[in-house]
Amino acid sequence: MSEEPKVVKFYPKDAAKSADNVLEQAIGRYNEVLLIGWDIEGNFDARATLGLKDGGDCLWLVEIFKHKLMNHEFVGENEGE
């Protein structure tokens, strides 16, 4: 019995301009997620998986992100060249 071919979706270089594209690319890559952003009406919104037990877990993720951001660990392709 032959396997069906795996479909690979390619995204344009500027695909990260769309929140939907970013979320689609994250499917299947994370165990726990904290999602923070602006909804389509411009309101601040946050959601998290149930494995993040309380506000402390969410705050810990935010602090780790802040530390990495301040240490320039998130550099884009054209930045820092």
Q: What is the pLDDT of residue 81?
A: 41
Q: Where is 47: in which H helix or E strand?
A: strand 44-48
pLDDT above 70 covers a percentage of the chain that reads 89
Q: Model's pTM, two decimal places?
A: 0.68
> What is the reported pLDDT for 76?
60
Give the per-residue pLDDT at 75: 67
Low-confidence ranges of the chain (pLDDT < 70): 1-2, 75-81
pLDDT of residue 80: 45
DSSP state, residue 17: G
